[in-house]
Amino acid sequence: MILREMLVDDLEQVMKIETELFSPPWTKEGFFTYLTRKDAMFLVVEEKGEILAYCGLLMVLDEGDITNVAVRPDRQREGIGHFLMDSLIRLAEQQGITTIHLEVRVGNRTAIRLYERMGFTRDGIRKKYYTDPVEDALLMTRQAQKVPQN
Ligand SMILES: CC(C)(COP(=O)(O)OP(=O)(O)OC[C@H]1O[C@@H](n2cnc3c(N)ncnc32)[C@H](O)[C@@H]1OP(=O)(O)O)[C@@H](O)C(=O)NCCC(=O)NCCS
């Protein structure tokens, strides 16, 4: 299992996972526009040529916004989501990101538990943020640990 940047060639497999998991899903063009941007970090977990998971982060100065987190349905609950998030956070911190934000459906307990394990805390609720079905978003933020100065 390896972690690497998402490439245009991955989009077919990514879109298969995306449409299975999300309503409404991102479009292929949506992913495509971010793959070449310097202010975006899109990663995949690959095993023997198959994409098992992916995530995306947009960066502005020292802040990041997680746009996507997905693990292929038949490979969930193996720790891949944890590995992916942990890797994303480390790489973001290496690029000077100190605060990471995300939003998640309030009913998505697996994802919320995972984010809390990764150090994200609850900021608030954005009412009726999601469609298909309509649902509130839980806003979460993670601050990088400060390194002691002496
Ligand atoms: C949310 C999501 C990314 C989590 O990914 P994942 O790979 O399943 O996450 P993990 O395996 O690291 O952890 C999930 C659960 O599996 C458990 N788990 C991890 N490894 C395990 C193992 N080897 N055996 C049994 N259980 C295990 C974890 O303890 C965790 O349990 P919990 O939810 O009861 O706390 C994934 O479920 C997903 O893609 N969901 C659909 C899309 C989605 O909701 N994305 C987030 C949008 S904000």
Model pLDDT, residue 121: 98
In degrees rounded to 5, what are phi and psi of residue 27? -90, 165
Q: Which of 18, 34, 54, 103 is catalytic?
A: 103
Annotated catalytic residue 20: no
* Residues paired with 59 in a beta bridge: 64
Mean confidence (pLDDT) of the chain: 96
Instruction: Tell me, using a 6 A CB cutoff, whether residue 21 lines ligand 1.
Output: yes
Q: Are 97 and 143 in contact (CB under 8 A)?
A: no
Q: Where are the beta strands (DSSP E) in the chain?
A: 2-5, 40-47, 50-60, 63-71, 99-105, 121-130, 135-143
Q: Which of 114, 118, 138, 140 to mutate to test the pocket of ligand 1 (most atoms within 8 A of CB)?
A: 114
The DSSP symbol for 68 reads E
Model confidence pLDDT, tens digit, residues 91-109: 999 999 999 999 999 999 9
Closest CA to 82 of 31, 34, 122, 45: 45
Instruction: Tell me, using a 6 A CB cutoff, whether residue 107 lines ligand 1.
Output: no
Structure tokens at 28: 């292929």
Instruction: Tell me, using a 6 A CB cutoff, whether residue 19 lines ligand 1.
Output: no
Q: Return the ligand 1 atom nearest residue 110 CA.
A: 33
Model pLDDT, residue 145: 84
Which residue minimizes the CA distance to atom 40 of ligand 1?
70
Closest CA to 21 of 72, 84, 65: 72
The domains located in the chain, with CATH, are: 2-143 (3.40.630.30)
Structure tokens at 26: 């991102």
Model pLDDT, residue 150: 67
Spans of the chain, pLDDT less than 50: none
Q: Whole-angstrom Cα distance, residue 142 to residue 120?
A: 4
Alpha carbon distances (Å) from 35 to 3, 75, 116: 15, 24, 28
Annotated catalytic residue 115: yes
